């Protein structure tokens, strides 16, 4: 009897023990090692516009609200409190009030108060005494007329007009709260935040080191003792370093489909995810100079595009066809496939090209009289490679293009001067939200509206969708605007890229966002099971 009971106990233990170990809670300790693809310009998120900064720096700060770090798709429904315990909107939708968490301290021990929130928005709007060296997202907060405080723990953002998506911008990794007492120059070299990790050191070309914030206001967090980013600019070396276990994780969304296959072959235990990053490759045409001031010619160019070929050649099939906004299912606002197919240039390639050739013939071009142009692009592989495919596709409609690689530092200056005829550009979106995409890239006079597309009627629709609180209604309005933008050849979208991230199986709680590459790097509840 006793033996049978013992055997039963052993059997039960054999089943239960691994499950218990597996289900064991997060472990404290350990240093997470990630390779960084380059030396970031600084760690002051507000002054930079590359996720090379967000990845190492987001863990230093907190936002008022933040996207849930474990829901891959960012949406209004995934926004959770961060420094703000709660928020409310006034009945006229013109005031957004945040109740702030009490007892939060900056890394230097100073208390966090509502004044810091006000200082942050003053800095962003250029109202304060201190100024940023550069302020790439100041336009996003143009709708805030005033920031007022009520005591140390309540702050209100007063809006010029209703803007439901403002909260989405506040939840982005691009919108941390800065302190009043640390000047912007220091934030670039030795940032002070309220986040789960404290800045330790930043050595150009070497490493960025963060250490656990022992006094983090979220009790029990973070789990890690620190995070070390080793800067490995050569991707082949970086991949080998990951395979050899020198780093625990690759730089987020830096792995191509082919590289992931290679990693899995060498280290089958590696966990790899591939998904969209909300970066579109697009065609920019200078509509102000002839012959491209002719809408017919621009339409013909849009009809010549074979988007699937771009995706197959450049990303080995890992990409999506879409409009301005990231296509579903990962994208929240992108047009559905059946709607896309109704847009000229998104249908059957051969038919579209025949139509394009007919337009070109009407305009006086043909096989013996091709239009000679230059396709300008940044002299980086991610820009150059699709530009080469574009040149090949334009040949099919009697456009004989030559590649004009532009030194990287000169690219935006050249585009801003209108010193190009046809160009190929990449556009990254910090958040999957129509306000950011439309106002930034298509509003009349916007600095990033490189093609100077200006349609006042459509801009009125930008405002209309922006104030709409009903998500489904807004989505339909957004689809119509996006369709119109594609039909107007405002900035034809060639593709939306997908790329991947790999980590070792002992790295737990890692979630890669799949509709933005800028918002998922707080790392506060990430832990190492080893």
Q: Report how far apart, in Å, the C-alpha atoms of 312 and of each of 113, 256, 290, 498, 501 are.
A: 51, 12, 33, 12, 20
- Contact region for another protein (CB under 8 A) — 176-184, 243-251, 347-355, 366-374? 243-251
- CB atoms near residue 153 (< 10 Å): 18
Q: Which of 6, 86, 237, 369 binds another protein (CB under 8 A)?
A: 237
Distance between CA 2 and CA 15 in Å, rounded? Answer: 20
Long-range contacts of 110-114, Cβ-Cβ distance < 8 Å, separation of 24 or more:
110/179, 110/181, 111/152, 112/83, 112/177, 112/179, 112/194, 113/149, 113/152, 113/153, 114/149, 114/150, 114/151, 114/152, 114/153, 114/154, 114/155
- Contact region for another protein (CB under 8 A) — 78-86, 159-167, 233-241, 384-392? 233-241
Residue with tokens 């990962």: 330
Distance between CA 98 and CA 337 in Å, rounded? Answer: 39
- CB atoms near residue 176 (< 10 Å): 26
Residue with tokens 């709660």: 86
Query: Residue 409, interface with another protein (CB under 8 A)?
Result: yes
The answer to whether 392 and 399 have CB atoms below 8 angstroms apart is no
Query: Residue 243, interface with another protein (CB under 8 A)?
Result: yes
Q: Which of 108, 400, 447, 470 binds another protein (CB under 8 A)?
A: 447
Least CB distance to another protein at residue 436 (A): 13
Q: Report how far apart, in Å, the C-alpha atoms of 323 and of each of 1, 57, 79, 185, 483 are.
A: 72, 31, 25, 39, 7
Residue with tokens 């556009």: 427
Least CB distance to another protein at residue 23 (A): 31
Least CB distance to another protein at residue 41 (A): 6
Distance between CA 441 and CA 451 in Å, rounded? Answer: 9
Query: Residue 3, interface with another protein (CB under 8 A)?
Result: no
- Contact region for another protein (CB under 8 A) — 154-162, 229-237, 321-329, 346-354? 229-237
Query: Residue 201, interface with another protein (CB under 8 A)?
Result: no
- Contact region for another protein (CB under 8 A) — 70-78, 197-205, 212-220, 499-507? 197-205
Least CB distance to another protein at residue 142 (A): 14
> Under 8 Å CB-to-CB from 313, ≥6 apart: which residues?
385, 389
Least CB distance to another protein at residue 207 (A): 8
Query: Residue 135, interface with another protein (CB under 8 A)?
Result: yes
Cis peptide bond N-terminal to 28, omega within 30:
no
Q: Which of 36, 37, 118, 188 binds another protein (CB under 8 A)?
A: 188
Q: Which is nearer to another protein, 226 or 328 (CB)?
A: 226
Least CB distance to another protein at residue 391 (A): 23
Query: Residue 204, interface with another protein (CB under 8 A)?
Result: yes
Distance between CA 3 and CA 236 in Å, rounded? Answer: 58
Q: Which is nearer to another protein, 48 or 306 (CB)?
A: 48
Query: Residue 448, interface with another protein (CB under 8 A)?
Result: yes
Q: Which of 59, 232, 311, 526 binds another protein (CB under 8 A)?
A: 232
Q: Which of 382, 410, 469, 511 binds another protein (CB under 8 A)?
A: 410
Least CB distance to another protein at residue 346 (A): 26
Least CB distance to another protein at residue 410 (A): 5
Least CB distance to another protein at residue 284 (A): 12
Q: Which of 48, 248, 352, 488 binds another protein (CB under 8 A)?
A: 48
Least CB distance to another protein at residue 378 (A): 9
Least CB distance to another protein at residue 298 (A): 23
Q: Which of 245, 317, 336, 337 binds another protein (CB under 8 A)?
A: 245
Query: Residue 212, interface with another protein (CB under 8 A)?
Result: no
Question: How many residues belong to the site for another protein (CB under 8 A)?
Answer: 45
Query: Residue 39, interface with another protein (CB under 8 A)?
Result: yes
Q: Which of 501, 504, 522 is nearest to 252 (CA)?
A: 501
- Contact region for another protein (CB under 8 A) — 55-63, 141-149, 173-181, 182-190? 182-190
Query: Residue 233, interface with another protein (CB under 8 A)?
Result: yes
- CB atoms near residue 10 (< 10 Å): 10
CA 45, distance to chain mean position in Å, is: 13
Distance between CA 138 and CA 478 in Å, rounded? Answer: 23
Q: Which of 6, 50, 148, 350 binds another protein (CB under 8 A)?
A: 50
Q: Which of 73, 137, 62 is nearest to 100 (CA)?
A: 62
Query: Residue 230, interface with another protein (CB under 8 A)?
Result: yes
Q: Which of 203, 265, 308, 395 binds another protein (CB under 8 A)?
A: 203
Query: Residue 148, interface with another protein (CB under 8 A)?
Result: no
Distance between CA 475 and CA 481 in Å, rounded? Answer: 10
Q: Which of 70, 127, 134, 362 binds another protein (CB under 8 A)?
A: 134
H or E, element range at 231? strand 226-231
The answer to whether 76 and 69 have CB atoms below 8 angstroms apart is no
Long-range contacts of 386-395, Cβ-Cβ distance < 8 Å, separation of 24 or more:
386/281, 386/310, 386/314, 386/424, 386/494, 386/495, 387/424, 389/309, 389/310, 389/313, 389/314, 390/283, 390/305, 390/310, 390/424, 390/494, 393/304, 393/305, 393/306, 393/309, 394/301, 394/304, 395/370
- Contacts with another protein, residue ranges (CB under 8 A): 33, 39, 41-42, 48-50, 133-136, 185, 188-189, 202-207, 230-234, 236-237, 240-241, 243-247, 266, 407-413, 416, 447-448
């Amino acid at each position: 009897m006793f033996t049978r009971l013992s055997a039963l106990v052993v059997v039960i233990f054999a089943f239960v023990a691994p499950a218990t170990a597996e289900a064991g809670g997060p472990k404290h300790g350990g240093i997470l090692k990630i390779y960084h693809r380059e030396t970031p310009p600084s760690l002051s998120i507000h002054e930079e516009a590359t996720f090379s900064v967000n990845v190492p720096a987001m863990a230093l700060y907190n936002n008022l609200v933040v996207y849930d770090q474990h829901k891959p798709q960012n949406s209004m429904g995934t926004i959770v409190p961060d420094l703000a315990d709660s928020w409310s909107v006034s009945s006229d939708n013109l005031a957004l009030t945040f109740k702030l968490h009490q007892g939060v301290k900056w890394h230097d021990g100073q208390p966090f108060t509502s004044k810091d929130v006000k200082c942050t928005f003053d800095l962003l709007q250029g109202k304060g005494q201190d100024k940023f060296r550069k302020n790439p997202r100041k336009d996003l907060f143009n709708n805030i007329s005033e920031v007022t405080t009520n005591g140390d723990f309540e702050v209100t953002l007063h809006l010029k007009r209703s803007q439901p998506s403002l909260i989405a911008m506040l939840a982005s990794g691009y919108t941390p709260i800065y302190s009043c007492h640390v000047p912007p120059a220091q934030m670039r070299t030795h940032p002070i935040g309220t986040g789960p990790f404290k800045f330790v050191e930043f050595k150009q070309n070497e490493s960025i080191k963060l250490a656990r914030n022992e006094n983090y206001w979220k009790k029990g967090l973070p789990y890690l003792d620190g995070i070390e980013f080793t800067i490995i600019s050569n991707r082949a070396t970086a991949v080998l370093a990951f395979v050899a276990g020198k780093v625990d994780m690759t730089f987020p969304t830096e792995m191509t489909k082919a590289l992931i296959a290679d990693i899995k072959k060498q280290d089958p235990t590696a966990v790899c995810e591939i998904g969209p990053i909300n970066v579109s490759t697009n065609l920019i045409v200078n509509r102000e100079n002839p012959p491209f001031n002719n809408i017919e010619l621009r339409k013909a160019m849009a009809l010549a595009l074979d988007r699937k070929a771009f995706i197959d050649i450049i990303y080995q099939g890992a990409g999506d066809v879409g409009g301005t906004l990231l296509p579903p299912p990962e994208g929240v606002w992108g047009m559905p496939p059946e709607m896309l197919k109704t847009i000229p240039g998104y249908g059957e390639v051969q038919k579209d090209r025949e139509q394009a050739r007919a337009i070109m013939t009407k305009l006086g071009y043909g096989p013996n009289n091709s239009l000679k142009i230059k396709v300008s692009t940044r002299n980086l592989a991610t820009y150059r490679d699709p530009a080469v495919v574009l040149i090949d596709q334009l040949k099919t409609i009697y456009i004989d293009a030559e590649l004009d690689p532009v030194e990287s530092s000169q690219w935006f200056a050249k585009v801003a001067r209108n010193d190009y005829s046809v160009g190929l550009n990449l556009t990254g979106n910090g958040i999957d939200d129509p306000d950011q995409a439309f106002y930034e890239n298509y509003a009349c006079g916007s600095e990033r509206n490189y093609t100077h597309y200006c349609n006042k009627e459509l801009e009125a629709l930008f405002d209309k969708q922006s104030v709409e609180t009903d998500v489904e209604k807004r989505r339909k309005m957004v689809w119509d605007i996006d369709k119109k933008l594609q039909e107007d050849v405002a900035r034809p979208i060639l593709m939306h890229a997908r790329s991947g991230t790999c980590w070792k199986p002992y790295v737990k709680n890692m979630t890669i966002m799949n509709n933005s590459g800028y918002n998922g790097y707080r790392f506060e509840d990430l832990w190492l099971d080893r």
